[in-house]
C-alpha cells in the first residue's frame, strides 16, 4: 500500500499548477468515521485538523489547514476530525 503523502505549506505556484482553487469543497464537523478510497484523492485543507489512521498498520498522519494531501487508491482508514474541516478535493 502506498503511504499518505502530505506536503505542508505548498507553494502558491504548486496550488495554481494543480488548479486547487477550482476543485469542489467538502466540509465536515468534528466526528470520527471509517473511510475507503476507491480512487486516489488529492486535497488541500482550508480549515481544520484531522488525524488519519490507516487500517492494518502504518503511522497515523496529522493534517491541518494549509496541507496538500494525497490519499492512495485502496486505502482504508479512520478519520478523526478534531476541528471542523473545509477542503478542496480532486479525485483522480
Domain chopping of the chain, boundaries: 5-91
- CATH of span 5-91: 2.60.120.10
53: which 3 cell numbers?
Answer: 489512521
pLDDT band at 6, cuts 50/70/90? very high
pLDDT band at 57, cuts 50/70/90? confident
Structure confidence by residue, pLDDT tens digits, 9-40:
999 999 999 999 999 999 999 999 999 999 99
29: which 3 cell numbers?
Answer: 464537523
Listed in sequence order, the residues at least 6 apart from 21 whose beta carbon sits closer than 8 Å to its beta carbon are 15, 88
Amino acid at each position: 500500500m502506498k503511504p499518505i503523502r502530505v506536503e505542508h505549506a505548498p507553494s502558491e505556484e504548486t496550488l495554481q499548477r494543480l488548479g486547487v482553487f477550482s476543485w469542489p469543497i467538502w466540509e465536515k464537523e468534528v466526528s470520527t468515521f471509517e473511510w475507503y478510497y476507491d480512487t486516489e484523492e488529492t486535497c488541500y485543507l482550508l480549515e481544520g485538523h484531522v488525524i488519519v489512521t490507516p487500517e492494518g498498520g502504518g503511522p497515523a498522519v496529522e493534517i491541518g489547514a494549509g496541507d496538500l494531501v494525497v490519499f492512495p487508491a485502496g486505502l482504508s482508514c479512520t478519520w478523526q476530525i478534531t476541528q471542523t474541516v473545509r477542503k478542496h478535493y480532486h479525485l483522480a
